[in-house]
Structure 1
Amino acid sequence: MASSSPIFRFAPSPNGRLHLGHAYSALMNERLAKRLGGTLLLRIEDIDLARCRPEFEQGIRDDLAWLGIGFKPQVRRQSLHFDDYRRALDRLDAMGLVYPCFCSRQEVKDDVRRCEAEAGKRWPRDPDGAPLYPGTCRSLGEAELRRRREAGEPHVLRLAMDRALARAAGERLSYRLFDEAGEERDIRVDPARWGDVVLARKDVPTSYHLSVVVDDALQNVSHVVRGKDLEAATDIHLLLQHLLGLAVPRYHFHRLLSDETGQKLAKSRLSRALADLRAEGVTPEAIRQQLGFT
């Protein structure tokens, strides 16, 4: 049963150390949760078992405790809930909306180059700039699919976007966008621009897109506050929510922090970690003031 009070969540991945961008997102969740009289959950998004490590998770907890952000006691760790994501994937599969793709990353690149050469123009890209999957494995017959799966060939599971959109035909694919002042407006989404996205891999039996919508629904999350870099991905999340009959939260996309070169703060770029700032004697009050959360 859904809670009558707003529920927010901060959901970092323990694949590196938190930086000021993460602090900003956590503090924005805290601010808006308090403003609306809601509660704030902590979720550990650790589906990538190869990159996520216990010491990074402990570092997340240490950083958030240092910042003084209060969370509801129970923490959801995604790696303990793969069965939830599998059930959602099975439902989509039963609707005929999922198909196996045996293409390696290099094979996808080669197919895109071939398609570009044949068409004489650049192949369409998704909002993140990656070429759309050209659909190489969509035409494989049932016998071929069965043979290759039984042979144990590595594959991913993709969402058949055209069939998914046909299934959702007639639905108003939109969400409520809210700002810090509490104003709201409807935003229409366009999932087709993402093509046949990957929903699961052999080594990771789910994806960010699938697990995040399942988690938000199971945790009764009513307000999602995250960076603008994930705004376009909400197209996919809205479609999955409608296909699976899940509630659609309200969304807020906050600004992204950049370094002195103008590049977005990122773990992959080894942006300065909160733990380093703490070790240098920087106080949580100073961090809050720097980020505008006095």
Structure 2
Amino acid sequence: MLEEAAFLAVLPSAERLSPPEGLRTAPQGPDPVLAAGQAAAQRWFGLVEVPIALGEALRAQVPDERTAVARRWAPFEVAQQIDGDALGLSGSTTSWASAEILQLDDGSFEWTIALAPTEADEPRAVAHGTQQGRLGEQVWDLTSVAEVLGSDSAPGQLSLDSTDPDPEGTAARQVDADLRRGPISEPWQLLELTGMTFVADLAITDDGLAWPAAATVFHEGAGIGAGIVQQGTVELSFTACWDGAGQTSSRTGDPGIATVEGPPCAP
């Protein structure tokens, strides 16, 4: 059983990939940094909900082949409900999934997942990854995933790197990710179970306009966010916090940031 668990643990999972639940379910308050974080969390969920669902489906399906160093799944039908729209899909979808996990000589694992629209179609490799303990990398061809599921959207390629921010084991996770569509790269980061880093347009400057920004947001009951707004050629740093209702408690920053007077944000 322990050996089987070690193989299955390397597959994509909600524990490893889901956006912070507190951020997704936070009140729809007026704070613009929180609102941007909520939108980013929802979009991230749309990118990873199919990978998570495929990982769960593979864990629930008995492998067709078991050896000391491998697990293999022949194509089997997977039905799932897609809630996000990042892949240009919503509602019920079906596909045929197959997979392979190999344990290498150094004890690490590598895996691949393939999808096909029907049992008769040739499986198409859509993801691969490596995992050793808490460290791992995975790459998802989300454009191919969308095509197999019947969408003509082109969400791009999602690369994820699970690092170990705390070798003592007290930190839950850190996942650095990059969504690439042609020459365009969009960075993401999942921090612990309550925070994420993302890029978005934020309207928190004195001119009232929305400017590109990179922000890191944590929310658990109440929240805090910090980052950089790119106002033309000028970078403006900011820190903001909000209460449990999503109401701005305080916002400070460089000259040009629209400040909100209040108690200092707790770290």
TM over 0.5: no
TM-score range with shorter-chain normalisation?
Answer: under 0.3
Asked which structure has the greater RCO (Cα within 8 Å, sep 6+), the reply is: 1
TM-score (ref. length: structure 2) = 0.25
